[in-house]
Amino acid sequence: MKRAVEYIITPVIIAIFFLASCEEIIEFKGEKLEPKIVMYSLFDPDSLIAVSIGRSYSVFEEDHNPEQIPDAAVRLYRDGEFLSELEYLPLPPGYIYSGMENLSRYVAPGIRPEPGSLYRIEAGVPGLKSVWAEVQLPEPVPVTDIDTFVITGYYQVRRIGTRVRFNDPAGEDNFYRLNVSMIEGSYTGPLNEPWSDEYTVWVNREDFTGAVIDDPLLKPAGDEDIFGLSDQNHFHIFSDELIPGKEYDLNLRVFAWEKDYSYYEFIHYRIELQSISRDLFLYLRSMSLHFSSGESPFVEPVIVYSNVVNGLGIVGARICSSATLKFGEYPVDGVPYEYSSMWY
Amino acid sequence: MSIRTLISILLLNISVSIHSQMVTVSGYINDAASGERMIGATVYEKNSLAGTVSNNYGFYSLRLKRGQVDLVASFLGYEPVQVSFTVTRDTVIHFDLELSAKQLDEVTVTASMRQSKVESAQMSMIDIPVSKFIKLPVLLGESDVLKVIQLLPGVQSGTEGTTGIYVRGGGPDQNLFLIDGVPVYNASHLFGFMSVFNPDAVKSVQLYTGGFPARYGERLSSVIDIRMKEGNEKELKGNFSIGLISSKLSLEGPVIKDRTSFIISARRTYADILARPLIIWQNHVEDMNSAGGYYFYDLNAKINHKFSDRSRLFLSTYAGRDRAYFREKDSYEYYSDEEPVNYEYIDRFSLGWGNVITALRWNYLFNSKLFSNTTLTYSRYNFDITSESIRKDLISNTSSTDLFRYFSGIRDVAAKVDFDYYPAPGHSVKFGAAYTHHVFRPGVTRFKYDQGTGAAAIDTTFGDAKIFANEFIAYGEDNFDLTPRLKINAGLRLALFNVEDTSYLSLQPRISMRFMVTDNFSLKASFSRMAQFVHLLTTSAISLPTDLWLPVTQRFGPPLSNQVAIGSGFRLPWNLEMTVEAFYKTMENLIEYKEGASFSGTGSGWESKVEQGRGWSYGAEFLIEKTVGKTTGWVGYTISRSDRQFANLNFGRVFPAKYDRRHDVSIAITHKFSDRIDLGAVWVYGTGNAATLGIMKYPADNFMYNYVYSYNDITEYVSRNNYRTPSYHRFDIGVNLHKQKKNGIRTWNFSVYNLYNRRNPFFIFWDSQYEMIPDPANPGSYTFESSTVLKKVSLFPVIPSVSYSFKF
């Protein structure tokens, strides 16, 4: 479809526009706004409660230089009762830019969210209006079965087809995110010689791999619509709108044949079906669409969803159910492993 | 005046008509050259000044006193015909009007020449003369009915160059397009840049923006009633034209002279044909095997037969389709582990949409006072998109397929009967009933993946459900002179819509009044309540074929509107007429996509993607028109405001509608220099469109496990449609050069769109601007300084075009 878009629709529209669109600077005649507190938090029963705090800035701040906000007051409430004041977690020394410095991290040591409780986070930053948001953990939806089969695709590339089965709970709206993380090991020595422990197996981990999701529930993940707007679902989220209360098999494909297991290479996939809160679903979906369509003249700009009252951002929740596909052994005694810089 | 008084007068009126010594003169008004029935022609009796107007089928009926009558029939641009006789009983008189020898340039205008806006009880209605709109300058040489309608007061255009219309603050789904009385669901070709109405086949265009007569309904904001030609009864005629985008051919003529005639009109774009040699060349150069293109075509055909003066049958059809397609074939042959491998890959893509409309219509005249029209109609719109990849293993003779297909559509089958009854002088009644069976296919999505190895294939279909709906309509409208100065059109429309387990009954009262203050000045008022039983799901600024029509549901009931309008009409010197109208319209049960929701390839579950809200608009419209003489045209001005409020959009706050525009001005002029040269010019001005413009930014978090992908910061828009783009204006000019040839008249049209090259905003966006600053520390070198700037993108600069047509 992508080529068709390139070859037909885009040229038609370009032809209509007579190859004549031109840009010109115009004067901005609107009002400028005060910054707001930006607050993010993801409640996960397997993680400590943490909150990220930032601030919004004017579009005219071309040289906007985000700074840590160490003096925010972040308070946690559970079922209406004060639970804890969160502590600022400074960036580690020698921290290298990755975008994290846009947000300041606050943590509640030793506190993990519990199912059935309603949590509220309040945050205040000097000079900005205070904000708050509430969240509750969703019910977990277990993966009931996982099934694999071999697929030979184009150019004889073989992949492992995988069906991930789950039962959508009836009588309620449910929201999901599919995550396939991967750990792989690659032998660093010559493959045409016998294995030697003088060479390491280099281990890398990725949160989302090159798994191909064939499933229509997750379309158009990685696909384009007819106007070439791509990746409308790049967080791999879906709702039970099409499968309310039904058993369903998600379809995906993973690589497995590139490794030489005689050299202790391996590849392990962790397939995670996350049950996520509605607010988080709306945030991820609108953010995905926001970045897909933000500058397209053909669609209305998408305002990113927020449940932070008086502010921006999202306080959401997830609970995971997972299954693992293992190709090759790891770890193996006596095999020297070396870990990539992303391994922490 | 109390209702009791009103009813008494009405009954008296009817009673008098029954018992007095009146007779009925009736008949048809035809074009003498072609036999075409003339819509809206005037017939009046000179002495009593009793008059009427021919209906949509050219029929008139007039109640007159016995005795000497001088009956005059007239129509704009035609020589009036007068018949004098003594009438003693009901009489049938048909008029054949001939084009004025002097055509439009020196015609003496009389008040009764045409149904003057000053005199008509109807308000908020504009009759668009086809002969005029084809003389106005056009974009890329393609005349378009809807682009002329955009120039009228109360109508806002959508995206530049497109045919979208927004009437009195309404949305794009609130316009009812009728071809010969049959609804058209998608009136766009070429992604909205051209309409489906081929001007060569159009006979008349009427636009209603308010004061809706009871015979119209089903949309909140406007009715565009387009009547197609019937075909020349006298001789074979034709017309062909060649433009930059499309070519057209029309043929019309008698099958049996004066009894059976036909018209067939077709057009097609040819960019795909012209591009074919280039594609072949590209395939040759790049060793490829691919083909692709885009085209649309449409066809209007009509045949009618007169069984007698009382009975006439019409069969008409419209079929149009847009199609984009692409296919590519490739093959690979190599050895893998000394085994030969030979694959062939085929990729196919197609996108198509179109309407098919058919109507079988029977006009029957029961007697000189009762005219009937019975119609059976079929209307279908469908859209489909298919993408398929096939891999064939030519050695093992197996193949794998990866298929995506989506299609949606709507189909109507309807039967209706309409009556025109003329009981008394100055009194006519229209009534009728209709039944429509709707079948909605909101969207069927099929995914198929078959690897061809015998393993189980994935073959999933979603949304394969039809929704059936039944719609019953009954209406009655009474058009009568309550006093010689006060004319009233009062009506009631009853609609019952049933879909699945839900039924909606809607009573829609309508009333329009005209009071003649003087012979040249009238005051008018109207009220109309409208309901529509379909929703349009649309996400875009232009008309996309993916726009989806869906029926109302229990949760999302029918959109409703109430509109009041007051106005006046003036007859001014130099054959000018001026109308002024003010309106206030409320709209309920409007739907819009939720924030973050969009077309996702399936119509099922759409209710969870939309929000329901309300809207309102108000404004004033001014129109000065000149319809006769060498120079004709109009000046229109609209001042208006249109807002929306949805509980869950824009945080519940009121926001301007997408095409809310404070000021709209249009000037459209044609001037005839001679039989060989005429000129058209258009100037338009509009306040800038509402746009959603980000003013702040903030960091994103996508909640990945270990690190944040480096997405750009999120743009915070604060509010929907929070900003105004710069104003829109442009000037177009065109000239038509006609020459009489041996077998007909050839016309060259030269047009220039946007003559002074105004860079009108299509959309605006933020961008970074870099400036070179001399570096004082290093003379001769520079540093870069960046700043955020607001930019506008413009589409159409000055665009000349040429087209050629030949009429024979």
List, for residues B234-252, the tens digit of each pLDDT value.
889 999 988 877 888 999 9
**How many other C-beta atoms lie within 10 A of the C-beta of residue B211?**
26
Calculate the CA A237 to chain-centre distance: 9
Q: Do B695 and A299 touch (CB under 8 A)?
A: no
How close is the nearest chain A Cα to the Cα of B495, in Å? 33
Give me the pLDDT at residue B711, please: 56
Q: What pLDDT is recorded for position A119?
A: 96
Given this model, what pLDDT does residue B285 score?
78
Residue among B404, B712, B792 whose CB faces A26 most closely: B792
Q: What is the mean pLDDT of residues A103-108?
A: 91
Tokens of B760: 């009108």
| pLDDT one-digit tens code per residue, A227-286 | 444 445 778 888 887 788 999 988 887 776 678 888 999 988 888 899 999 999 988 888
pLDDT value at A20 more than 70: no
CA distance B292 to B389: 15
Eight-class DSSP state of B240: E
Mean pLDDT of A94-116: 80
Q: Do B324 and A294 touch (CB under 8 A)?
A: no
What is the Cα–Cα distance from A5 to A2, expressed in whole angstroms? 5
pLDDT over 60 at B596, yes or no = no
Which amino acid is it at B141?
G
Token pair for residue B46? 């000179």
- List, for residues B441-488, the tens digit of each pLDDT value: 876 777 777 766 666 666 777 666 788 999 999 999 999 888 888 999
User: How much is the pLDDT for A226?
Assistant: 41
First CA to last CA across chain A, in angstroms? 39
Give me the pLDDT at residue B107, please.
Answer: 34
With contacts defined as CB-CB under 8 Å, which chain B residues touch A312? 698, 714, 716
* Interface residue A101 vs chain B (CB under 8 A): no
Q: Do A219 and B596 touch (CB under 8 A)?
A: no
Q: Is B58 helix (H, G, I), strand (E, B) or coil?
A: coil
| HEC letters along B600-635 | CCCCCCHHHHEEEEEEEEEEEEEEEEECCCCEEEEE
Q: What is the pLDDT of residue A5?
A: 46
Closest-CA residue of A relative to B698 is A56
- Single-letter amino acid, residue B552: V
- What's the rounded mean pLDDT across residues B92-107? 67
Task: Name the amino acid, one letter, at A45.
Answer: P
* Residue from A3, A6, A7 to probe the interface with B (highest B Cβ count within 10 Å): A7
pLDDT of residue B476: 96
Residue B95 tokens read as 């008029």
Chain-chain contact of A7 with B292 (C-beta, under 8 angstroms): yes
pLDDT at B10: 41
Residues B107 and B113: their CA atoms lie apart, in Å, by 10
Token digits of residue A301: 């700009």
| Residue A34 clears pLDDT 90, i.e. is over it | no
- Of B622, B597, B245, which is closest to residue A299 (Cα–Cα)? B597
- Interval B169-223: pLDDT, tens: 998 889 999 988 899 888 888 777 788 888 888 888 899 999 999 999 999 999 9
Stretch (H or E) spanning B213:
none
Distance CA A75, CA A102 (A): 20
Cα–Cα dist B292/B314, whole Å: 39
Tokens for B307, please give them. Answer: 């069984």
- pTM of this structure: 0.76
Tokens, residue B161: 């160059």
Residue A225 has pLDDT above 50, yes or no: no
Chain B: give the shortest CA distance to residue A279, in Å.
12
Mean pLDDT of A297-310: 79
Q: What angle do CA B624, B796, B805 make, to 5 degrees?
A: 70
Tokens 């077709």 belong to residue: B266
Q: How many CB atoms lie within 10 A of CB A84?
A: 16
* Range 58-97 of A in CB contact (< 8 A) with B: 58-64, 66
B313, B342 Cβ separation under 8 angstroms: no
Q: Residue B20: its pLDDT value, please?
A: 57
Residue in B528, B590, B524, B582 with CA at minimum distance from that of residue B215: B528
Which tokens sit at B281? 């060349």
pLDDT at B13: 45
Residues of B in contact with A313 (CB under 8 A): 698, 701
**C-alpha distances in angstroms, B247 versus B161, B163, B250, B271, B485?**
19, 19, 10, 11, 50
Cβ separation of B695 and A103 shorter than 8 Å? no
8 Å CB contact between B163 and B146? yes
* Number of CB pairs, chain A paired with chain B, less than 8 A apart: 258
Report the mean per-residue pLDDT for chain B.
83
Residue B26 above 70 pLDDT?
Answer: yes
**A331 cis-preceded (ω within 30 degrees of 0):** yes
Instruction: Say if strands A57-58 and B696-698 run parallel, antiparallel, or are unpaired.
Output: antiparallel
Residues of B in contact with A226 (CB under 8 A): 351, 385, 546
Out of A332-341, B270-279, B382-391, pick the least confident: B270-279
CA angle B612, B617, B619 (to 5 degrees): 175
| Contact of B659 with B705, CB cutoff 8 Å | no
Q: Please give the pLDDT value at position B193.
A: 76
Closest CA relative to residue B202, chosen from B141, B154, B149: B149
Quick check: B341 and A156 CB within 8 A? Answer: yes
Are B210 and B640 in contact by the 8 Å Cβ rule? The answer is no
Report the pLDDT averaged over residues B631-651. Answer: 89
Is a pLDDT exceeding 70 seen at residue A219? no
Most confident listed range (A119-123, A168-172, B668-672): A119-123
Say what percent of chain A tops pLDDT 70: 79
A28 near B CB under 8 A: yes
- At A141, is the secondary structure helix, strand, or coil? coil
Residues of B in contact with A298 (CB under 8 A): 540-542, 544
B790, A25: Cβ pair inside 8 Å?
Answer: yes
Nearest CA in chain A to B539: A299
Higher-pLDDT residue of B743, B433: B433
Helix (H) or strand (E) holding A236: none
Q: Are the Cβ atoms of B696 and A219 closer than 8 angstroms? A: no
Residue A62: which of B328, B449, B787 has the nearest Cβ? B787
Q: CA A343, CA B705: separation in Å to the nearest integer?
A: 11
Contact check, Cβ <8 Å, B391/A3: no
Beta strands (DSSP E) in chain A are: 22-26, 37-43, 50-55, 57-58, 73-78, 81-85, 87-89, 104-107, 118-124, 131-136, 143-152, 158-167, 175-187, 201-206, 212-213, 237-239, 247-255, 266-276, 312-327, 337-339
The reported pLDDT for the residue numbered B316 is 93
The percent of residues in chain B predicted with pLDDT above 70, rounded, is 88
Give the separation between CA B548 and CA B537, rounded to whole angstroms. Answer: 5
Interface contact B598-A232, CB threshold 8 A: yes
Nearest chain B residue to A43, by CA = B703
User: Which among B326, B769, B795 is the nearest to A3, CB-wise?
Assistant: B326
- pLDDT over 50 (residue A4): no
Cβ atoms of B211 and B124 within 8 Å: the answer is yes
Q: Of B5-9, B209-213, B383-387, B399-403, where does the model show the most confidence?
A: B209-213
* CA-based nearest residue in chain B for residue A151: B451
Q: What pLDDT, on the 0 to 100 scale, is given for residue B704?
A: 59
Kindly compute the dihedral angle of the four CA atoms of residues A180, A203, A196, B337, in this order, to the nearest 10 degrees. 40
CA B24 → CA A2, B61, B483, distances in Å? 68, 7, 21
Of the candidate ranges A89-103, A133-147, B702-716, the one whose mean pLDDT is the lowest: B702-716
User: What number is the average pLDDT over the span B607-634?
Assistant: 88
Facing A22 at nearest CB: one of B458, B714, B759: B759
Residue A55 has pLDDT above 50, yes or no: yes
- Contact between residue A264 and residue A257 where contact means Cβ atoms under 8 Å apart: no
- For residue B143, how many other CB atoms are within 10 A of its CB? 28
Tell me which H or E stretch contains A281: helix A278-293
Backbone φ, ψ for residue B275 (5° rounding): -80, -15
A14: pLDDT confidence band, cut at 50, 70 and 90? low
DSSP, collapsed to helix, strand or coil, labels residue B14 as helix
Question: For chain B, first and last CA: distance in Å?
Answer: 58
Contacts of B319 (CB under 8 A, 6+ apart): B298, B299, B354, B355, B356, B357
CA-nearest of B723, B611, B568, B612 to B660 is B723
Residue with tokens 């390491």: A200
Structural contact between residues A37 and A51, judged by C-beta atoms closer than 8 angstroms? no
Report how far residue B352's alpha carbon sits from residue B545's, in angstroms, rounded to the nearest whole number. Answer: 8
- Return the residue matching tokens 């005639």: B261
CA atoms of B477 and A60, how far apart (whole Å): 60
Assess: ipTM above 0.90.
Answer: no
**Selection from B365, B780, B546 nearest residue A9 by Cα:** B546
> Alpha carbon of B73 to those of B80, B95, B117: distances in Å?
6, 7, 18
What's the pLDDT at A260? 86
Work out the angle at residue B127's Cα, subtended by the Cα atoms of residues B126 and B132, and round it to the nearest 5 degrees. Answer: 120
Query: Is A15 in Cβ contact with B722 (below 8 Å)?
Result: no
Confidence band (pLDDT; 50, 70, 90) for A214? low
pLDDT beyond 70 at A139: yes
B312: Cα within 13 Å, side-chain hemisphere: 22
CA separation for the pair B602, B483 (Å, rounded): 57
